[in-house]
Amino acid sequence: MAGRRQGAALLRLALAVAVGALLLAALPARAQSDVRYFTETGHSLRGAFRAFWEANGALDIFGYPITEEFTAAGGRLVQWFERARFEYTEVSGRPVVELGNVGVEITQGKLFPKSPPIQDTADLRYIPQTQHVIKFGFKTTWETRGAERIFGYPISDEIQEVLDDGAWHTVQYFEKARFEFWPAFAPGKRVLISHLGRRLAPPEQMAPVPPPVPGQQPGPAQPPPSPPAPVPPGVNGKVTPESGPPGTVFTFEASGFESGERVGVWLTAPDQSTYGVTQQTTADSQGSITGARISITSDTSFPEGLYSFNAQGVRSKREARGFFRLTTLATPGDPNKLGQIVHDQLPRQGQSFIVPVAAPPGYTFIMLGAGFQSDEPVSAWVTGPDGKSTAIASDLVEAANGSAQARVNTGGLPEGAYTAVIQGQRSKVTAAAGFKLTRDFVAGPGTVRPASVNGSASPAEATLGTVLQVRGQGLRPGERLDYWITDPSGAYVLLPDSPAAEGDGRIGYNPALDLKVTEEALAGVYGIHFRGRQSGARVDVYFTVKR
């Protein structure tokens, strides 16, 4: 049962990411509470902090929450985790979650010598921003798990320290973390992120609190801020335009630096790889680098997703950041394809689920499996339309308590039907799920909205803040339904929970299915689909979001 519970948690995590891509919010009166309580520490997560935690590595990177949200000195809303501190702020009225510099705070008073520049290799990387070197497993962990966005820059080279086991270990300090090397552990598990949060969190805030009562906020925490936007606001920087298809010229403007100082500028891609880390420009007399006319022209070799321009003053260490999203939604879709069913032709084996079921090439799918032995290692691979299999990198696979999750990157793959597989290395238990790479469901701006079938969305055309009422009828009373959603990006998401038609064969009336268009909504056509599992009766509701 523990494995099944963990599997359900993984499903919820993956679906939060996938359905979040739909960028529609259920009305608060209709939605379940977003509070997630952790019995392991007696604390809760919610709102923007939960969204950030789940989207950026969750337990593996940050650990469990060890306090509730509380207002720290200076008036900022914060929450401590085993390995990090989340800090909430707003920029231009929009929520932003930042990470505290716990690595800097834990090393106050220590002096770490700088390193001279070296030639970067596959195993060594020089970080000019702080003049330190990252090596081997530390380098891999830093580059693949969030880099400076999550861990900050290194503030030391590798050094030797005695850890809690009483033995000497190689460690390295970063602005927001400390990495530890444990050679006795299995390959791929030897780099750990220290529990600096437990060393720094205020003891008076760490006392466990009871689980929240449904409908109430837990503990002494304040009302949760809204989840952060997929295209966050820049910090002293902005990119124009904020989104566009391949061929778009994205221009970066930034300010807040010291007059005349050199400023390093680099680009971070959706997979957190970085480019141009050695490029520098000079701030003008107002501390701005806008006059440098920093820009990049995207092309079809760029993967779709969220990018950031980053800048840091060499002398002042002040930072600026701006974000943009590369998308191909400018091409209108084929409305005749939006209602077709894909998941029937994509088999599953064992306790498995994949999110989404279909999407264009370049999309990252999340494969979930359960039923493995507790704590056994797993292997994961993808089998393509040609029958050839490719292993999924170990850093994209996580397993715990009999369940596992694998991230399937599809950049560069051709369209067609694929199978993602996770297999227990000892038990040989196999979980497999088919998925399809296709552009059939892309429905960007200009796509003709199909006519709804046995249902309606009111209004059928929506803008920011619009509340849509989605309703359907003509189903067999009480029967279980398949429920899936398509969005303008071309993602086809099958929901694991099987709703039932109401007693009169309707859906969306009791309870109501009301959606609100958020600021982050993609422009184009959305589809909400239901199908009776026995009768085959369909409800297909379409609406258009305009920006």
Whether the per-residue pLDDT at 89 is higher than 60: the answer is: yes
Q: Which of 366, 369, 346, 351 is nearest to 422 (CA)?
A: 369
pLDDT at residue 375 greater than cutoff 50: yes
Residue 243 CB neighbour total at 10 angstroms: 19
State mean pLDDT over 53-69.
89
Largest CA distance in the chain: 75
Let me know: does 104 contact 155? Beta carbons within 8 Å.
yes
Buried b (16+ CB within 10 A) or exposed e, 410-448: beebeeebbbbbbbbeeeebbbbbbbbbbbbbbbbbebe
CA distances (Å), origin 446, targets 59, 259, 329, 396, 516: 41, 46, 9, 36, 21
Give the right CATH number for 455-545 from 2.60.40.1930, 2.60.40.790, 3.90.1150.10, 3.40.630.10.
2.60.40.1930
| Tens digit of each residue's pLDDT (9 = 90 or more) over 388-432 | 889 998 888 999 899 999 999 886 678 899 999 999 999 999 999
Q: What region, left, alpha or beta, does residue 490 occupy, with left being phi > 0 and alpha being psi -120 to 50 degrees?
A: left
483 φ/ψ angles, rounded to the nearest 5 degrees: -140, 120
Show the beta-strand stretches assigned E in 9-139.
24-26, 36-38, 43-45, 70-71, 77-80, 85-91, 94-99, 124-127, 132-135
Query: In the numeric block, which tokens belong to residue 72?
Result: 């720290």
Tens of pLDDT, residue by residue over 104-130, are 998 886 888 888 999 999 999 999 999
- Number of H helices and E strands in the chain, helices first, is 7, 40
- Bigger pLDDT: 282 vs 90: 282
| Residue 218: predicted pLDDT | 46
User: Residue 195's CB: how many other CB atoms inside 10 A?
Assistant: 18
User: Which CATH fold would you assign to the domain 246-326?
Assistant: Immunoglobulin-like (2.60.40)
The confidence band for 73, taking pLDDT boundaries of 50, 70 and 90, is confident
- Does the pLDDT at position 13 exceed 80? no
Mean pLDDT across the chain: 82
pLDDT for the residue 372? 94
* Domains 246-326 and 341-437 fall in the same CATH topology: yes
The yes/no answer on whether domain 341-437 falls in CATH 3.40.50.720 is no
Residue in this structure with the two tokens 């590369």, named with its chain if needed? 326
Are the C-beta atoms of residues 266 and 153 closer than 8 Å to each other? no
Instruction: Determine the pLDDT at residue 177.
Output: 93
Domain boundary assignment for the chain? 28-229, 246-326, 341-437, 455-545
**Percent of the chain clearing pLDDT 90 (strictly above):** 39
Identity of residue 133 = V
Q: 65 exposed, middle or buried (CB, 10 Å; 0-12, 13-18, 19+)?
A: buried
At 230 the pLDDT is 42
Residue 91 or 190, more confident:
190
Structure tokens given for 383: 């089998």
Please enumerate in sequence order all residues whose Cβ is within 8 A of that of 143, keeping only pairs 6 or more positions apart, or say none.
Answer: 125, 272, 273, 274
Q: At what angle do helices 47-55 and 2-20 cross, to 10 degrees?
A: 100
Q: Check whether 9 has a pLDDT greater than 50.
A: no
Burial 137-159 (b: 16+ CB within 10 A, else e): bbbbbbbebbbbbbbbbbbbbbe
Q: Supply the DSSP symbol for 142.
A: H
